[in-house]
Copies of this chain bind each other. A is one copy, B any other.
Amino acid sequence: MTKPLSVAVAGLGTVGAGVLTLLRDNAATITARAGRPIAVTAVSARDRTRDRGVSIAGLRWYDDPVALAHDPNVDVVVEAIGGSEGQGADLVRAALKAGKPVVTANKALLAVHGAELAALAESKGVALAYEAAVAGGIPAIKALREGLAANDISRVLGILNGTCNYILTQMRERGIEFAQALSEAQKLGYAEADPAFDVDGIDAAHKLAILAALAFGRPVDFDAVHVEGIRAISALDIKLAEELGYRIKLLGIARRTDAGIETRMHPCMVPVAHPIARVDGVFNAVVAEGDFVGRIVLEGRGAGAGPTASAICADLIDVARGRTTPVWGVASPDLSHAPNVPMSKRVGAYYLRLMVVDRPGVIADVTAALRDHHISLESMLQRGRAPGEVVPVVVTTHDCEEAQMRAAIARIEALEAVLETPAMIRIEAL
């Protein structure tokens, strides 16, 4: 029997405790697949006495997680603290500097500091593995970085936040509004007390930045991601989308165009027939489109102790087997520097829903505004008549540029008969 791989785990919340549980429960399977036992020998967390449902008896304890990096009996460090700054980040840097491979679920850290950390890991010749950072248990990182490595990728997109997908699914299935769906998700533990990180799209945008870096072999660039969340989505828009043959999903999309790389996170209308339209509840999905492989869809649980631990332990098995890959699939000096395409250049179709006073001439004013910005109408729908009252009017357009659409919306919003800021949702050709 080869020497066991000695693992330190920093952070014993849901994720860290899940790793301990998995390595204990599936020890025989993991030993066979890794070619050697994988054993946690040291841990660090805030509270030594808390009951986590898994024993830490006999493990070396450190109050300071960064100290794990300097334990000479630790072969690899698992960082399950989180956050782009602070102790998790400090530990990852210290461990890499000490020449220890790092396995992490920390998407914020990878999205914000991934380029620097990759260079550091590569200079030390050690792995920085992060399968758990994106789409939980779905082996999306491995698929993009290795499985589809021979392809030029044209687009990668995904449902990357289970909280948002759960809320949107509840809104659609039950016809409820965002506030109610959020409140219920909080009670069920699917959303945090402070939901901003999830519902404003930030968590998902971190993951998209990582996928984009891998797909296009370029330095990770979180600042380039256009980010919108789902707070503005209404039950009415979900219902109207359904009538038009679409579902509303919060999608992260990274796309190669002639101008460079688009990375954007926002609600989209997607055709009901596309596999991603049917990914409901807390499930995540990643779609990659390659020039030789065509379209690949990966679906599974995007969060939770089990799926996240599954991904972390897969990375540990890679470390145990000595399977290494540059952090971003391509060595840092060889990464490409394709420019970022700003959101204003996004080309596609749009859905607009206006609340207008039902009187003659309003539609003419709206269509004139679109015409003046060279936007071609695809359909117009006013459901029912209610002279003098407020009614929803739905417009869908042919492809135009985001900047044109923004200008047209500004003019439409200024019309006296238009009573609210128009709801705008991008229709994504998939």
Residues of A within 8 A of B (CB): 18, 22, 25-26, 29-30, 32-35, 131, 137-139, 142-143, 146-152, 217, 275, 278, 290-301, 306-307, 309-311, 313-314, 316-318, 321, 323-326, 329-331, 334
Contacts and interface: CB of A to CB of B under 8 A. Distances in A.
B325 A324 contact: no
A329 B316 CA distance: 15
Contacts of A22: 150, 292
Q: Which 5 A-B pairs have the closest CB atoms?
A: A139-B147, A150-B313, A137-B293, A293-B310, A292-B306
B317 A149 contact: yes
Given A217-B29, A314-B149, A306 B294 contact: yes
18 contacts: A29-B149, A32-B331, A32-B334, A35-B331, A138-B296, A139-B139, A142-B146, A146-B318, A147-B314, A148-B310, A150-B313, A291-B306, A292-B313, A293-B301, A293-B307, A296-B300, A297-B300, A321-B324
A217 B150 contact: no
A25 B138 CA distance: 29
B301 A298 contact: no
Contacts of A309: 150, 292
Interface centre among A291, A292, A321, A334 (most CB of B within 10 A): A292
Given A147-B131, A317-B150, A26 B291 contact: yes
Given A137-B294, A323-B323, 10 more contacts: A26-B292, A131-B147, A137-B148, A139-B142, A139-B147, A142-B146, A142-B147, A148-B314, A294-B300, A295-B300
A261 to B, nearest CB: 15
A323 B321 CA distance: 9
A150 B325 contact: no
A327 to B, nearest CB: 13
Contact of A292 (B32, B33, B310): B310
A218 to B, nearest CB: 11
A25 B278 CA distance: 34
A139 B146 contact: yes
A299 B297 contact: yes
A389 B307 CA distance: 56
A275 B299 contact: yes
Contacts of A148: 137, 139, 310, 314
